[in-house]
């Protein structure tokens, strides 16, 4: 049922996402959805968790690079691809579009695998002497950079051509990482 919910959300968007619609798509009853998830907020919570599981899985497929900075650039680009391929799911994960679901501290642990992966890649770059700083701080900056760029791109604000959008992603990732280069 969770996969049906994710697919329904992706197809119909946030405004049309209801437990009734998910139940219809899953060929079950609305009470069955409530039994599994408690309420609409519980269903959205599971979609939220599923989004972070999918993002973590996608990031872990980032092709390795001989250069740790290049690997971090690839992680940023993988994040971009995930958001581009899953814009509505990313909206649930990062924008809080449902009034009846506001993630609490326990819910925010959904992104733990994502955080651990990015922090691990940053630690590797620090250990290689390619960048300097606190790994957790740098990971937060890179994820925030990717989220901001993704929001700009999704909203149509990052450029009118694929080439200009690609150039701006590349400029942003490389500029931040160059600024963190160890001397």
Q: What is the pTM of this model?
A: 0.91
Element (H, E) at 139: helix 135-154
pLDDT tens for residues 104-138?
A: 888 888 899 999 999 999 999 999 999 999 999 99
Structure tokens at 75: 């992680």
Q: Is the residue at 15 inside a domain?
A: no
Q: Is the residue at 19 inside a domain?
A: no
Q: Is the residue at 23 inside a domain?
A: no
Q: The domain containing residue 80 runs over which residues?
A: 48-179
- The DSSP letter of residue 62 is P
Residue 183 reports pLDDT greater than 70 = no
How many distinct structural domains can be found in the chain?
Answer: 1
pLDDT tens for residues 67-83?
A: 999 999 999 999 999 99
Averaged pLDDT, 60-65: 95
CATH number at residue 160: 1.10.357.10
Q: Is the residue at 40 inside a domain?
A: no
Beta-ladder partners of 181: 131
pLDDT for 102 equals 87
Q: Is the residue at 10 inside a domain?
A: no
Q: 174 CB contacts (<8 Å, ≥6 apart)?
A: 73
Report whether 51 contacts 108 (CB < 8 A). Answer: no
Structure tokens at 66: 């001989």
Report whether 79 contacts 21 (CB < 8 A). Answer: no
């Amino acid at each position: 049922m969770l996969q049906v919910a994710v697919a329904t959300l992706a197809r119909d968007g946030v405004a049309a996402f209801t437990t009734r619609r998910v139940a219809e798509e899953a060929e079950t009853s609305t009470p069955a959805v409530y039994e599994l998830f408690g309420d609409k907020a519980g269903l959205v919570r599971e979609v939220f968790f599923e989004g972070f599981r999918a993002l973590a899985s996608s990031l872990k497929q980032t092709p390795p690079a001989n250069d740790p900075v290049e690997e971090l650039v690839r992680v940023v680009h993988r994040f971009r691809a995930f958001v581009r391929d899953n814009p509505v799911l990313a909206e649930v994960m990062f924008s809080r579009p449902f009034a009846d679901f506001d993630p609490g501290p326990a819910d925010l642990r959904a992104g733990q695998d994502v955080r651990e992966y990015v922090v691990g890649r940053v630690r590797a770059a620090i250990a290689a002497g390619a960048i300097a700083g606190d790994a957790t701080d740098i990971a937060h900056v890179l994820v925030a950079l990717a989220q901001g760029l993704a929001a700009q791109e999704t909203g149509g604000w990052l450029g009118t051509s694929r080439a200009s959008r690609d150039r701006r992603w590349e400029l942003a990732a490389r500029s931040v990482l160059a600024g963190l280069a160890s001397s």
